[in-house]
Amino acid sequence: MSDVLAVTEHRRGELRDVSFEVITAGRELAAETGGELHVAVIGGDTESFADSLNREGVDAIHTVSEGEEFNHDIYAQAVEALHAELDPEVLLTPNSVNGLDYAPAVANSLDLSLATDAVDLDYDDGLTVTREMYGSKVETTIEVGGDQQAVTIRGAEWPAAEGVGDAEVSEFDADIDTDTGSTVTGFEEVGGGDVDISEADFIVSIGRGIEEEENLDLIRDLVDATDATLASSRPIVDNGWLPKNRQVGQSGKVVTPTVYLAIGISGAVQHVAGMKGADNIIAINTDPNAPIFDIADYGIVGDLFEVVPELIEQFEG
């Protein structure tokens, strides 16, 4: 019982990036526990998924051919059955929206110690997980005891697994009850419309630091003066101050401009997921400890209501 079981994820026919990251995390961990790395793929075109998942360091791939898309009842049953069969020490899943829709249930039902949103894993006689708290302002290490553990891993923290492996691929018969209490009836794309911020070269993005809807005029003036594209963090869209197609982040758009100017944005992980690929990140924030400064190239520790008018002046004056 020193093996690692990593569960992958796909949507609408494609494996998601985090599937390859969870393999890397699993491979590194298995090297430390001295066990094998087992990878599971559930639903969809399992055969071709298994082909792509056969990367270096994977010892075995288990396919469960049940359903096309994610359904948490199916995933929970499949993972629980596989867990019973393989008896791994650590279960790894993505800390994605779907990962969080089944991993806590599996952990509870199998009595696994659960640590979510891990950014680092260490194993030395026992498992230690690094995770953040307080909107990424502090990092913590947690020793995760118990006989067996479940850990969800944060996306984009581990590199994607590469190379070609020689894993044994086998179909696992999980004996799944398909009479589930929840039924997925479809998908809907949101955030369409006339502007596509993902094409922009210079983005001025505004966050909760703006405080009031009326104050957005100040940012609009800056956007006009610099010919930038306006975007925002989630709370601005949640409040209905800007349309959904302006939202940058995990549940919004991914942008890769030359310059991303983040004003009054703290830099929560779900926001960063949408803009960390920008060539230059510049932040204006009153909080010198705001996590946005950890990924910024340039910064102003200051009040946006003082800095932004001066900045407008620079381009109008």
Binding to ligand FAD in span 34-93, by CB under 6 A: none
The H or E element containing residue 263 is strand 259-263
Q: What is the DSSP letter of 214?
A: G
Q: What's the one-letter identity of residue 224? A: D
Query: What character string, x for contact with ligand FAD (CB under 6 A) and - otherwise, covers 215-254?
Result: ------------------xxx-----------xxxxxx--
Whose structure tokens read 């008896």? 87
146 is in the binding site of which of another protein, ligand FAD, none (Cβ under 5 to 8 A by kind)? another protein
What sign does the CA torsion over 198, 203, 207, 211 have? negative
Angle at 149 between CA 147 and CA 154, to 5 degrees: 165
Contact region with ligand FAD (CB under 6 A), list: 62-70, 77-85, 170-178, 206-214: 206-214
208 is in the binding site of which of ligand FAD, another protein, none (Cβ under 5 to 8 A by kind)? ligand FAD
For residue 232, the cross-strand partners are 206, 247
The H or E element containing residue 83 is helix 72-86
Site for another protein in 191-230 (CB under 8 A): 191, 201-202, 226-228
Site for another protein in 291-310 (CB under 8 A): 291, 293-303, 306-310
CA distance 152 to 144: 13
Range list of β-strands (E), 43-167: 60-64, 90-94, 113-118, 120-123, 127-133, 138-144, 149-153
Site for ligand FAD (CB under 6 A): which residue of 7, 290, 296, 312?
A: 290
CA distance 91 to 107: 9
> What tokens does 263 get?
């004003």
243 is in the binding site of which of ligand FAD, another protein, none (Cβ under 5 to 8 A by kind)? none
Site for ligand FAD in 255-274 (CB under 6 A): 264-266, 268, 270-271, 274
Site for another protein in 239-278 (CB under 8 A): 239-240, 244, 250-254, 257-259, 261
Minimum CB distance to ligand FAD smaller for 198 or for 250: 250
Catalog residues that contact ligand FAD under the rule CB under 6 A: 97, 135, 207-209, 233-235, 247-252, 264-266, 268, 270-271, 274, 284-287, 290, 303-305
